[in-house]
Structure 1
Amino acid sequence: MSIRNRESLVKLPRGEVLTKALEEALAAADPYTAVASSVKRRGDVVEVGGKAVEVGGGVHVVGFGKASGKMAEALVDLLGDLVRGGVVITPTGGGRAGPIELVKGDHPIPKDNTLSASHRLVEYLEGVGEGDLVFVVISGGGSALFELPEEGIQLEDIAHVSGELMRRGADIVELNAVRKRLSRVKGGKLLKFIKARHVASLIVSDVVGDRLDTIASGPTAPDGTTREFAIRVLKKYGLWEELPTRIRAVIESGGDTVKEGDPVLAKVWNIIVANNLTSLRSAGGYLKGVGYSPLILTSMLEGEAREAGRVLASVAKSVVYHGLPGRPPLALLAGGETVVTVRGGGRGGRNQELCLSFALAIRGMRNISAACMGTDGVDGNSPAAGAVVDGGVVEEAEARGLDPLEYLNNNDSYTFFNHLGRDIITGYTGTNVNDVFIAVIDPT
């Protein structure tokens, strides 16, 4: 996985260092490698995350998410003839991974592809026996790619509610707490469709803090949220009173999610095989090798993207002015997932908006450069994954007649960075471990 337009980005101040560090972060999030390090085969015994299971029947693979296709490929290569088949839903779909079907779902809003693919996956599980071993490969995007609505709910209802919550700035925990109340397969409920006594969920985490009940809405994990919390979320964002009575009725009194202690959980073990912190550490290792002292600030960055940009800029400026929390040459790393409350009509996403805010805050500080990128290769409604900035961006833009603040206020960060040739293009990466931010600071 690499940055497609790296040739132009490496010409920017400290651009070579930033692009290479980002590529190291992407490599660490490779789902094939992550699965291969967690699963082993010895004859008919499969070891998963330190637990050994003798396969009496066969191995079946189901799953959903941006990284799940590569995860399925890894299992086929590792386990060979033990794998009897499966159904895995990805944003691209099409083809097979050995005996496993790869089918297309919809992302970020579930539509007809998601519905038909989800029915196909559940139908496949009907043929799985008690003595079989089922792998569920889960990764970011799974909430939209795999969905079967609760009785009384239509897929369009879930799509509308999900879209409105995202547009109004709900974070992933809030969003998925609501989704679980509208779904027959989220919040641990997928386990009720699996007869096998052994279920191993391999998870590439795209959730801040790696909450199992939030990644892809926790289809195989006990739910730590409540219906009361979901209702508070809908009220917080002004949606509760807008919902039809039938939808409110399902949320208030429909079938609830699987809770800790439920007997159905005895057959499953959930294993996180890749996450944001792993990627930050890998990028940090590269930066150390080229002369920067790496400092991971957090892998749990949240909040409004533009506000997070200002906070990260304040840390970078503190390094320059006070040598705190470290002295240059220093690399600051952070990861997580911010949000954008959309007020304008432009194109962009949280990574580019964070970078634009950061650039405004470090104006004139030529010894600071930074980049922010979504590891899935998609940032908001733009074709970019993120952007590269430095202390000269604002003056560069103004010299071209561009007003950075105007673009920020219109949520039009992609257009801004595209004009300057500073947008990061990766294309679909096939993985997702949230966002990665890197700032490198040289001595003045």
Structure 2
Amino acid sequence: MAIKNVDELSKTFLHRLALELAEHGLAVADPYNAVKNHVRICNGRICVADNAIDVVGRIHVIGFGKASKRMAMALSDILGDKIIGGVVITPDEESSYGNIRFVKGDHPIPGENTLKSSRALLEYVTSNVLEDDIVFVVVSGGGSALFEVPEDGIDLKDVAWISKELMKRGSDIFELNAVRKRFSKVKGGKLLRFLKCRKVISLIVSDVVGDRLDTIASGPTAPDETTFQDVYTILKRRGLWNELRESMRRIVEMGLEGKIPDTPKSGDKIFEKVLNVIIASNKIVLDSMAKKAREYGFNTLVLTSMLEGEAREVGKVLASIIKNIERYNEPIQKPAAIFAGGETVVTVKGRGIGGRNQELCLSLSISIKSMRNVVALCMGTDGVDGISPAAGAIVDGETYHEGLNQGLDAQEYLENNDSYTYFSKIRKSIVTGYTGTNVNDIFIALIK
């Protein structure tokens, strides 16, 4: 996926290189490329990462997520007619590719499309998958909403309601998924109970900071370490326990009393047939960009793939690291390329147009004003930044002064959460369009 306005943004070698590294990162995160990089045929066996798997029976492909269509298409191109069929749920309209059928689900809140398509997926595996078969499961962000079959007695509207309420009351993705797993037949490793086959190979694109398998798409093929007690505590803390429908509260109570089984845990025999492989993630992208930068003679440092916090404050911290390298050649010597990734937040107090990546860049540009030979960028790998049409922004030591020359006070725009307006006026916004994948945000800084 290319940056659409790359020529406009490439005013110096450092700018061009930063943008080239970002485009390289997007290519690594591309779900089609990621599958191609991890799956191949070798001597009649299927090689997945470092694992060689014998093909005894037939091969099926199932999956769900915003990137899963391109993942399944890559598998089809690699394995061809070895794949006898499959069902993959995406946000797009129904279609097919090879022997794989794509069906439509709902995102970000599961609805009737999700329920219909999820039942079709389970009907496919229970009717077609045999004991000696291999099932590929392609999983990516958005899978929690696109794939859902509630437990008996639970209405899908109840699942949608609890999801909305938890998000409104401040629950993070870990709390949200812990609760949803208790009311689902397929989340938290439960999908495996429907797969009566010899081998399950789950290919995963991670959109979760830290790449926790039990959290990505609610961990349909991974052990779940949360418990009914955790869920009870979350619901009480968020003030939702007494608002639950009786059917939902009863499931939690029966779980606490040990009257119904919990999600499968580590050590459960159900996982002996499973190979979970993360094929694209923020960490994978950062490491690949760092390797590319070294080819240009830069000393490199991957700071973290778990960047979190208020975007403008994180911008100041990253600026302080840039300043330390520029002044003291520490923690690495110049020429230096530093990388970070994760997902920051913005506490919106103003009425402007922006996003976390552009707000981070605006804050950073104020901190590095007048510094020479420094270029930095921050962008969302999905091509979307907040409520703006941009993916992020690229800045340097002159960005602050370029704004002043046009009568723009960067600090005022920062306070109004209006980073996109600022960067669009001085032509520093990065525009990609929707990329079809999401491995969180990436940050690049080059110090010559």
TM norm structure 1:
0.88
State the structure with more CA Rg.
2
Give the partner amino acid of 2:198. Answer: R
User: Are the aligned partners of 1:370 and 1:388 in contact in 2 as well (CA < 8 Å)?
Assistant: yes
Determine the structure 2 residue equivalent to 1:334: 340
Distance (Å, rounded) in 2 between the aligned partners of 1:344 and 1:163: 24
Contact 1:168–1:342 under 8 Å retained in 2: no
Q: Give the Cα separation in 1 of the matches to 2:153 and 2:139.
A: 27
Match of 1:293 in 2: 299
Distance 2:367 2:71 in 1: 40
**Residues 298, 333 of structure 1: 8 Å contact kept:** yes
5+ residue gaps in structure 2?
A: none
Q: Which residue of structure 2 lines up, in the alignment, with residue 187 of structure 1? A: 188
Matches within 5 A, 1:97-112: 97-112=97-112
Q: 1:13 to 1:219 in 2, by over 3 A?
A: same
The amino acid that maps onto 1:211 is R
Q: In percent, how many aligned pairs have the same letter?
A: 56
2:14 aligned residue = 14
Matched, 1:61 2:61: yes
Task: Please give the residue correspondences for 1:17-28 in structure 2 after superposition, counting only pairs within 5 Å.
Answer: 17-28=17-28
Quote how far apart the aligned CAs of 1:62 are. Answer: 0.5
In structure 2, distance between residues paired with 1:107 and 1:418:
29
Aligned in 2, Cα 1:410/1:87: closer, same or farther, shift over 3 Å? Answer: farther
Query: For 1:25-77, what per-residue CA distance to the aligned partner results, in whole angstroms no more than 9, with x for missing partners?
Result: 11222333332333333576433344444434321101112322222112112
Q: Determine if contact 1:45/1:52 at 8 Å carries over to the other structure.
A: yes
What is the distance in 1 between the residues matched to 2:396 and 2:407? 18
Q: Displacement, 1:242? A: 8.0
Tell whether the 8 Å contact from 1:169 to 1:339 is kept in structure 2 after alignment: no
1:76-225 to 2 correspondences below 5 Å: 76-127=76-127, 128-163=129-164, 165-166=166-167, 170-225=171-226
Structure 1 unaligned regions, length at least 5: none
Asked if 1:359 corresponds to 2:359, the answer is no
Are the counterparts in 1 of residues 202 and 276 from structure 2 also a CA contact under 8 Å?
yes
> Is the alpha carbon distance of 1:241 and 1:138 closer, same or farther for their aligned partners in structure 2, counting shifts above 3 Å?
same
More displaced 10-residue stretch of structure 1: 427-436 or 415-424: 415-424
- C-alpha contact (below 8 Å) 1:360/1:404 kept by paired residues: yes
Count of residues paired in the alignment: 441
Alignment partners' CA distance in 2, 1:406 and 1:123: 56
Residue 379 of structure 1 aligns with an amino acid whose one-letter code is D
Please say if residues 168 and 341 of structure 1, whose CA atoms lie closer than 8 Å, have aligned partners that are also in contact.
no
Match of 1:433 in 2: 439
- Deviation string, structure 1 residues 131-172 (Cα, Å, up to 9, x no partner): 221100112222222222334544444445444555666543
Distance 1:6 1:136, change over 3 A: same
CA–CA separation in structure 2 for the residues paired with 1:112 and 1:312: 44
Q: Which amino acid aligns with 1:300?
A: M
Distance in 1, matches of 2:185 and 2:397, equals 50
Q: CA deviation at 1:439?
A: 0.9
- Work out the CA distance in 2 between the residues paired with 1:29 and 1:82: 26
Match of 1:396 among 402, 405, 427: 402
What do you get for the CA RMSD once the two structures are aligned? 2.8
CA distance in 1, matches of 2:176, 2:400: 35
Equivalent residues in 2 for 1:408-419, closer than 5 Å: 408-419=414-425
Contact 1:152 1:250 in 2 (8 A): no
Q: Is the 8 A contact 1:62 1:134 kept in 2?
A: yes
CA distance in 1, matches of 2:18, 2:150: 43
Structure 2 length as normaliser, TM-score? 0.87
Between stretches 266-275 and 48-57, larger displacement belongs to 48-57
Letter in 2 for 1:272: I
SS in structure 1 opposite 2:16? helix
C-alpha contact (below 8 Å) 2:81/2:99 kept by paired residues: no
- Structure 1 window deviating more from structure 2 (394-403 vs 122-131): it is 394-403
Q: Do the aligned partners of 1:170 and 1:339 also contact (CA within 8 Å) in 2? A: no
Q: Deviations over 1:299-348 (max 9, x none)?
A: 22223333322221221121123322123321110122233444555543
Say if 2:300 and 2:332, in contact at 8 Å, map to a contact too.
Answer: no
For residues 395 and 165 of structure 2, the distance between their equivalents in structure 1, rounded to whole angstroms, comes to: 31
Instruction: State how 1:262-341 maps to structure 2 within 5 Å.
Output: 262-341=268-347
State the distance in 1 between where 2:316 and 2:242 align.
34
